[in-house]
Amino acid sequence: MNSNDTIRPSSGLSRRGFLAASAGAAFVAAAGDFPGTAQAAAPFVLPPLPFAENALEPVISARTIGFHYGKHHKAYVDNLNKLTAGTEYAGMALEKIITATAGQADKAGIFNNAAQVWNHTFYWKSLRPQGGGEPPPVLKQKIEASFGTLEACKKELANAAMTQFGSGWAWLVLDGGALKVVKTGNADVPLTKGMKPLLTIDVWEHAYYLDYQNRRADYVDALLNKLVNWDFAAQNLG
């Protein structure tokens, strides 16, 4: 699969390693494969941002984060709670809901909102103030083994982000021991294909339009050079 391939969800795939232990309405799950992306089950909660709303300025403004996190991400959480109330999904780990509903037309609403909750939590962790720079050695070696150079990896990520038609996501993933860049449309997430996400770039217009208007390339370039959290990606190697 190359960077121009688009992943579509499929059913029947399961993910290992997602352990959810409830301790009341707001609990922390031991989703060890993805540090910091653990989600509460029934009711789902909006996880705290890992930084202040203005911490990514001037690359991403507090105004953008305010809408993106406080309105969009929150709405996915609220919608998921409404859609799963009283169903078999109400007490289920988020990743399990995603893999259980992917590709099922009659479950599209639950899938889309569950995946968007997960994707956004993962996106915030993929960013940090004063990010960019050099990845930790363990990740840099893998990047060079798969792409040749860090610059080639970033170029492929930027290309995936730019060529995703309409809303979606660009991802660095671990797939069968090698790193790959893939893109997904709308809410789709590489988890449904058994790939392990390492980091993601949100290319929905709500992620950049207030700051960059139609200049998606400028947003992606600034994110990759100034905000990307290579430490988070390295942690996700497991």
From residue 44, alpha-carbon distances to 93, 105, 123, 206 in Å are 9, 23, 18, 22
Q: How far is the CB of 72 from Fe ion (least distance, A)?
A: 5
CA dihedral 62, 73, 230, 145 (to 10 degrees): -140
Beta bridge partners of 197: 173
Piece in contact with Fe ion (CB under 5 A), picked from 88-96, 131-139, 184-192, 206-214: 206-214
Work out which of 34, 76, 204, 232 binds Fe ion, going by CB under 5 A. 204
Question: Residue 156 or residue 202: which is nearer to Fe ion going by CB?
Answer: 202
Q: Report if residue 111 touches Fe ion, rule: CB under 5 A.
A: no
Question: Residue 127 or residue 207: which is nearer to Fe ion going by CB?
Answer: 207
Question: Residue 188 or residue 202: which is nearer to Fe ion going by CB?
Answer: 202
How many residues bind to Fe ion according to rule CB under 5 A? 3
Q: How far is CA 41 from the centre of its chain?
A: 18
Give the dihedral sign, CA 39/41/46/52.
negative
Q: How far is the CB of 206 from Fe ion (least distance, A)?
A: 5
Q: Report if residue 202 touches Fe ion, rule: CB under 5 A.
A: yes
Amino acid at the residue 133 = G
Piece in contact with Fe ion (CB under 5 A), picked from 150-158, 187-195, 203-211, 224-232: 203-211
Q: What is the 3-state secondary structure (H, E, C) of 178-189?
A: EEEEEEEECCCC
Which residues are at the interface with Fe ion (CB under 5 A)? 202, 204, 207
